[in-house]
Structure 1
Amino acid sequence: MTETAVTDGSDDQTDRPTLDVGFIPAECPGTGAVGATRTSELLIQKLSHHHDLTVYVASQAEADPERLPARDRVEYVLHDGLGKLPHPLLTKLDAMREEVDALGTHDMVHTYSPGFIPILADLDVPTLSTLNSYLPACPKGDFRYYDGEKCTGHGTAKCINCIAHADVDRRKGVENSLRSVYSSLGKVNYVDDAMTAIHDVDAFQALSPHIKDDYANMGVDRERITVVPHFYDDEFYHPEWDRPLDEGDGFTLLHVGRLQENKGQESLVRAMPRLLSNHGDLTLRVAGSGGYEEGLHKLARQLGVDHAIDWLGYVDHDDVPPLYEDADAFVYPGLLDEPFGRVLLEALGTYTPVLASDVGSTDYIVGDAGVRFEADDPAALADGFDALVADYERHRAAIPEQLERFAPDTVESAFLDLYAEVAETRTPATAGR
Structure 2
Amino acid sequence: MNERLDVGFIPAECPGAAGTGAVRTSTLLIERLSKHHDLTVYVSSQMDASSATLPAEDRVNYVIHDNLPKLPHPLTNKIDTLEGEIDALERHELIHSYSSAFIPVLAELDTPTLSTLNSYLPVCPKGDMMYDGERKCSGPGRLKCASCISTTALKRRQGVDAELRSGYVSLGQIEFVFDSIDRAWEIDAYHALSPHLAKDFGAIGFPDNRIEVIPHFYDETFATITDEGESEREPTPEDDEPITLLYVGALQDIKGVHVLIRGLSRILSRGYDIELQVAGSGPYEQQLHELAQDLDLDEAIRWLGYVDHDRLAAVYENADVFVYPGLLDEPFGRVLLEALSSHTPILAADVGSTDYIVGPAGEQFMSGEPEALADAFERLIDDYTAHYDAIPEHIERFAPETVERAFSERYHDVASMAD
Is the TM-score greater than 0.5? Answer: yes
Structure 1 CA distance for aligned equivalents of residues 38 and 363 of structure 2: 42
1:267 maps to a residue whose letter is V
Pair 1:215-2:207 in alignment? no
Structure 2 CA distance for aligned equivalents of residues 102 and 221 of structure 1: 27
For structure 1, which segment, 403-412 or 233-242, has the greater mean C-alpha deviation from structure 2 after superposition? Answer: 233-242
Q: 1:294 aligns with which of 265, 286, 290?
A: 286
Q: 1:339 aligns with which of 331, 354, 366?
A: 331
2:163 maps to a residue whose letter is S
Per the alignment, residue 244 of structure 2 pairs with 252
1:271 maps to a residue whose letter is G
Per the alignment, residue 93 of structure 1 pairs with 79
Cα deviation for residue 94 of structure 1 reads 0.8
- Conservation of the 8 A alpha-carbon contact between 2:184 and 2:207: no
Pair 1:124-2:110 in alignment? yes
Structure 2 CA distance for aligned equivalents of residues 164 and 95 of structure 1: 29
TM-score, normalised by the number of residues in structure 1: 0.94
Per the alignment, residue 3 of structure 1 pairs with none
Per the alignment, residue 406 of structure 1 pairs with 398
Pair 1:193-2:179 in alignment? yes
Per the alignment, residue 353 of structure 1 pairs with 345
2:130 maps to a residue whose letter is R
Structure 1 CA distance for aligned equivalents of residues 163 and 361 of structure 2: 38
Q: 1:373 aligns with which of 347, 365, 382?
A: 365
Post-superposition CA distance 1:304-325 (Å, at most 9, x none): 1111000011111111110111
Name the Cα RMSD after superposition. Answer: 1.1
Pair 1:22-2:18 in alignment? no
Per the alignment, residue 243 of structure 1 pairs with 234
Give secondary structure in 2 for the equivalent of 1:312: strand
Structure 2 CA distance for aligned equivalents of residues 61 and 293 of structure 1: 25
Q: 2:166 aligns with which of 180, 183, 186?
A: 180
Structure 2 CA distance for aligned equivalents of residues 81 and 278 of structure 1: 52
Per the alignment, residue 382 of structure 2 pairs with 390
Any runs of at least 4 consecutive aligned residues in structure 1 with deviations exceeding 4 A, and if so which? none
Cα deviation for residue 66 of structure 1 reads 6.7
Give secondary structure in 1 for the equivalent of 2:132: helix
Cα deviation for residue 18 of structure 1 reads 1.5
Cα deviation for residue 166 of structure 1 reads 1.0
Post-superposition CA distance 1:128-164 (Å, at most 9, x none): 0001000000000001111122111111111111111
TM-score, normalised by the number of residues in structure 2: 0.97
- Conservation of the 8 A alpha-carbon contact between 2:245 and 2:277: yes
Structure 1 CA distance for aligned equivalents of residues 232 and 361 of structure 2: 15
Give secondary structure in 1 for the equivalent of 2:378: helix
Q: 1:268 aligns with which of 257, 260, 263?
A: 260
Gaps of 5+ in 2: 226-230
Structure 1 CA distance for aligned equivalents of residues 119 and 271 of structure 2: 37
Cα deviation for residue 65 of structure 1 reads 7.6
Pair 1:282-2:279 in alignment? no
Cα deviation for residue 279 of structure 1 reads 3.9
Cα deviation for residue 60 of structure 1 reads 0.6
Gaps of 5+ in 1: 1-14, 428-433
Pair 1:232-2:218 in alignment? yes
Structure 1 CA distance for aligned equivalents of residues 71 and 415 of structure 2: 36
